[in-house]
Structure 1
């Protein structure tokens, strides 16, 4: 994270500086963007656990599904010399903040909780900066899901698609039956979510890794990426004209309410179905997106701790980290959020069929080498490269840009510093 990039974004959020309050003893101020129905319920559980331990929770919630607004607010606070106690950041962003020298060491909580032996390597490595824990992992989301309203599918005479030809056949039938085939929010991160899922489904995990993790120029401009954009372009035809600017949870509500048949979205969408009292297998279906059944794109939510001077606040950070990793919180948070616990020792009894499938598929993908970090959700590339890629995908989704032009632009975006 370049310091000048941080400074630029401060000017847009000057108002936040005046409201930044110092954190008091035995209090944690947590900046996060969990604001939808299922997410808010999950945060409330963490607040409850912390207050039971005698620590006051000061909520600093910043709406915006992908966290862009929260990131801007966080930059403003850090530049002002008044960081929150903790903030929801993840993936390469943890390393970027670590390089700025502003993250707190929470090895004491990790050692006491035996995190190294408990967590999968892919999780623990992400939580460390220069070998030290600076963040606590909250959950694991699978991104490459397709959410389906079975009633809409039945009325359309369509079946759950496992391949792209089957997907377009189902989309045609759903549209002809008078429903919206694909519920989508036309925001950059949502467009990128569909894009990376299509890339995984069209090219497989090895192609995905070379293109969207390693940023290999030949792969980014090759025929498989052209085919990815061709497929994405076809999907555009099944999205309604009101999609631009729509929040993800409103798109999920379209599937819940039977206005739309399908949605590409990570399993935080399941939290919305659950909050609406819907049951998997009956009221909604979860299926790996076409062509991705043997692969798994992950998004790990985490809470990073920032350096604070107050000794009581430092102790409260360790209490928060321990609470996040507690079996009690891991279970209740993920039941509400739609995700799965980072701890493999949490009993499965209360988790539904979608969560159990996610657990099994993550383990199988990890073993097969097809477990991949999500580019769209800040797990694979730097924030600068991610932003440049978002711009390309968004332009493609909302213009007449050709697939050939898109792959060239994407390769250029991958070189962003």
Structure 2
């Protein structure tokens, strides 16, 4: 289906949107899109599916599509978009609006890799998240010496000091995607060559080698700083622990910033944002995108939604609230706070220097079957089922089996 608007968008239909933005900060961000669409006469029918990683949402979506009742649009990530495009043939074609508005000139090539299929635009990217962040309670950092860690040894020293000060050093939620989010940063911190070889090239020697053992050893060390009640905790509740001063830091993607902002926290005053120590100048990314399903009677609403998502003014307003950075290269950083400005600068630097990598943990490095195989090993190790040497061997074997 080619989505072409033939009537004024004021008469467009409502859009039913499946997404997993259910935390406080995320709900505030999606409200920006709802409000923008309402000015164009497009109503919003919300279909939220809780679960920060989006896997539950994809299960619900597949049931809806299989049952012949696809939503108007759905939030998707990375290789999930590719999988849906290749396996279903039910996605709408956004070429008309993309060409009219010049998306190809402003969307980074790394994002277009997922926004297009067979040369056709099938998704509108709403943001770029980066995953290798650490969010630190400023008071807890001051009590631990006041210096943000720049390398692994300094990170361990700060965590030890926080532990000695009687708070949980590392706020974490024991869910597979959260374990993998930390592992993303840990592996990149060991070396970018390891990250690329293991997670993008799927090189067996890298997956099972000495450097990967080192990465697992670092995960073991980080596990020692997590409280006993971490299992099953949602990511935003871990963020709340840092916000409330019950924990020192959280290793999480930049969507966590939305929770800090919603709690009226200010970067530099109440919390500190840094790249995971050892990953400065490098960025692991994922991009939330909206795909449109083939529904002829809603084409005007879909065009309006795609155009709104890609509008530069909206991209700024949405990402200021969400914690992410715009999916367009021509959006100014004027309205962004210090962490947002850093995020935009880091992304631009990594994009130009070759230090930009799709996030394994968030479906931008390899297909879901491989991602899930990695998840299983990482979580098993984090929960003490494997020692680090065994985990590296199991990782190589799991990826090989999933190829």
Task: Give the TM-score normalised by structure 1.
Answer: 0.92
Q: 1:155 aligns with which of 128, 132, 143?
A: 143
3-state SS of paired residue (1:335): helix
1:339 corresponds to 2:327: no
The CA distance in 2 between the partners of 1:370 and 1:206, in whole Å, is: 10
Deviation at 1:153? 1.5
Q: 1:314 aligns with which of 294, 299, 302?
A: 299
Deviation at 1:121? 1.0
Q: Which residue of 1 aligns with 2:209?
A: 222
1:158 and 1:174 in contact (8 A); partners too: no
The CA deviation string for residues 378-403 of structure 1, in whole angstroms up to 9 with x for no partner, is 11111111111111111011124111
Q: Which residue of 1 aligns with 2:260?
A: 273
RMSD of aligned alpha carbons = 1.2
2:175 and 2:233 in contact (8 A); partners too: yes
1:351 corresponds to 2:336: yes
Q: Which residue of 2 aligns with 1:362?
A: 347
Deviation at 1:327? 1.6
Q: Which residue of 1 aligns with 2:130?
A: 142
The CA deviation string for residues 275-324 of structure 1, in whole angstroms up to 9 with x for no partner, is 100100110000110100021111111111111142xx012111110000
Deviation at 1:159? 2.4
2:12 and 2:41 in contact (8 A); partners too: no
Deviation at 1:328? 2.2
The CA distance in 2 between the partners of 1:230 and 1:369, in whole Å, is: 27
1:107 corresponds to 2:95: yes
Q: Which runs of 5+ in 1 are unaligned?
A: 1-23
1:47 corresponds to 2:31: no
The CA deviation string for residues 241-267 of structure 1, in whole angstroms up to 9 with x for no partner, is 100000000000111000111110011
Superposition pairs of residues 109-188 of structure 1, within 5 angstroms: 109-157=97-145, 159-188=147-176
The CA distance in 2 between the partners of 1:278 and 1:190, in whole Å, is: 23
1:87 corresponds to 2:74: yes
Deviation at 1:206? 2.1
Aligned length: 391
The CA distance in 1 between the partners of 2:282 and 2:12, in whole Å, is: 46
Structure 1 stretches of at least 4 aligned residues deviating more than 6 Å after TM superposition? none
Deviation at 1:125? 2.2
1:158 and 1:173 in contact (8 A); partners too: no
Q: 1:408 aligns with which of 370, 393, 399?
A: 393
Task: Give the TM-score normalised by structure 2.
Answer: 0.95
2:92 and 2:292 in contact (8 A); partners too: yes
